[in-house]
């Protein structure tokens, strides 16, 4: 990779607001007829999902951050460290960026045992974390195995371990679940979601799978044709009616974070506290009491009633106010609603006929009905 670019562009890259360890970037790159023009400031903690249709520029963006590609012009800064500044002819080499990368395929060294793969590129000071990370990834029994003998999920976990042991300041994951089948994919997805909570390294997670992003991301960057359409907290973007189409693939839904309050062993249900006053009954989980849990409720899985119902199979009845409503030209039979449940926002979808017949309006108090069996948890 060149360190003295000969093509400084005349594009202006405005100063970006930088938190102590956030990632900020301003990139301009032409790849054939494709033009990546991206300005972003990403959080220093948690998982940022990069979502967009095929060819929107997700992988190109990741490769630029990793230092595997060099843009026509741009600035990339991780915390107070400038990784790239084409105008000042600064470019930190990929291997010096302290960025761990996990690709679509594990890319393990075939002639090294798992142990050798894990320690490859591990700085001496990171060796103290070897046992902890091996434990966390559940790969102790695999240490003496050759990569060719591993299952896809095992190999992916080793690749994640190798990236973590390189002592990164930032972890990039490019579709790390590609090619895994349903059960293994779910298992590794839950595992990565847990891992990102335990390891306080910011993660950028590229995927075109809405379910994966819903399970894992705190922040979402929505890309289209090389540009950032929106960048904000996942929940915030999911509430935006105007992005319903852009978030194609995401069913209109709400992501809620709660705490496990109680397990009902008789019926295998879990009670989740959403806040001081609201609870949800969801399918049973093994999550310990008090632990955080994320749930996703699809807009189409919420029904409304004017008053609480007495005899009903709906296990969840939340008192709510209609905060906003719109109709989308793509579905003229329905209306999109935003419900206010205390400090929580819920998206709901009804037929326009129900909206009219029930005399609903913005500001009206209603009861939101949610079937327990419809709630997905991660």
Ligand X SMILES: Nc1ncnc2c1ncn2[C@@H]1O[C@H](COP(=O)(O)OP(=O)(O)OP(=O)(O)O)[C@@H](O)[C@H]1O
Which residues here bind ligand X, judged by CB under 6 A?
Answer: 31-32, 34, 52, 54-60, 208
Q: Which is nearer to ligand X, 30 or 111 (CB)?
A: 30
Q: Which is nearer to ligand X, 59 or 235 (CB)?
A: 59
- Give least dist CB 45 to ligand X, A: 24
CA distances from 13 to 26, 39, 65, 87, 220 (A): 6, 9, 16, 10, 22
- Give least dist CB 84 to ligand X, A: 17
- Give least dist CB 207 to ligand X, A: 8
- Give least dist CB 237 to ligand X, A: 18
**Residues 248 and 223 sit within 8 Å (Cβ to Cβ):** no
Burial 310-340 (b: 16+ CB within 10 A, else e): eeeebbbebebebeebeeeeeeeebbbbbbe
Q: Which is nearer to ligand X, 52 or 161 (CB)?
A: 52
Q: Which is nearer to ligand X, 65 or 256 (CB)?
A: 65
- Give least dist CB 182 to ligand X, A: 20
Q: Which is nearer to ligand X, 8 or 55 (CB)?
A: 55
Residue 72 DSSP SS3: coil
Between CA 242 and CA 348 the distance in angstroms is 15
Q: Which is nearer to ligand X, 62 or 360 (CB)?
A: 62
Residue 74 DSSP SS3: strand
Q: What token pair was written down for 69? A: 């590609």
Q: What is the CA radius of gyration of the chain?
A: 23
- Give least dist CB 262 to ligand X, A: 41
Q: Which is nearer to ligand X, 56 or 334 (CB)?
A: 56
- Give least dist CB 197 to ligand X, A: 26
Alpha helices in the chain (DSSP H): 58-66, 114-119, 130-137, 152-165, 182-198, 210-216, 234-238, 352-357
Q: For the residues of 227-282, what is the DSSP string, one character each?
A: EEEEEEEHHHHHT-GGGTTTTTTSPSEEEEEEEEEEEETTTTEEEEE-SSS-EEEE
């Amino acid at each position: 990779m060149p360190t003295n670019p000969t093509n400084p562009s005349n594009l202006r890259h405005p100063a970006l607001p930088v938190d102590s360890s956030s990632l900020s970037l301003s990139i301009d790159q032409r790849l054939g007829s494709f033009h990546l023009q991206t300005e972003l400031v990403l959080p220093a903690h948690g998982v940022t999902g990069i979502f967009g249709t095929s060819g929107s520029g997700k992988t190109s963006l990741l490769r630029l951050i990793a230092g595997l590609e060099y843009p026509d012009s741009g600035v990339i800064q991780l915390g107070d460290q400038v990784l790239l500044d084409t105008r000042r002819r600064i470019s930190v080499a990929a291997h010096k960026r302290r960025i761990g990368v996990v690709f679509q395929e594990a890319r393990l060294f075939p002639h090294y045992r798992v142990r050798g793969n894990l320690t490859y590129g591990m700085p001496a000071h990171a060796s103290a974390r070897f046992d902890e990370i091996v434990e966390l990834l559940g790969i102790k029994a695999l240490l003496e195995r050759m990569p060719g003998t591993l299952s896809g999920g095992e190999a992916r976990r080793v690749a994640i371990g190798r990236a973590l042991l390189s002592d990164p300041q930032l972890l990039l994951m490019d579709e790390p679940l590609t090619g895994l089948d349903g059960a293994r994919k779910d298992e590794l997805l839950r595992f990565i979601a847990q891992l990102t909570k335990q390891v306080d390294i910011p993660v950028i997670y590229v995927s075109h799978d809405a379910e994966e992003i819903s399970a894992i991301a705190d922040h979402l960057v929505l890309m289209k044709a090389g540009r950032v359409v929106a960048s904000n907290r996942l929940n915030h973007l999911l509430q935006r009616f105007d992005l319903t189409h852009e978030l194609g693939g995401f069913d209109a839904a709400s992501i809620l974070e709660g705490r496990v309050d109680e397990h009902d062993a008789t019926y295998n249900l879990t009670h989740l506290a959403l806040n001081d006053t609201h609870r949800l009954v969801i399918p049973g989980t093994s999550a310990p009491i008090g632990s955080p849990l994320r749930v996703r409720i699809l807009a189409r899985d919420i029904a409304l009633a004017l008053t609480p119902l007495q005899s009903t199979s709906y296990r969840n009845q939340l008192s709510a106010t209609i905060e906003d409503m719109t109709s989308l030209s793509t579905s003229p039979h329905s209306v999109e609603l935003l419900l206010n449940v205390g400090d929580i926002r819920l998206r709901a979808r009804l037929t326009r006929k129900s909206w009219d017949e029930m005399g609903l309006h913005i500001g009206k108090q209603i009861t939101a009905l949610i079937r327990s069996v419809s709630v997905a948890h991660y």
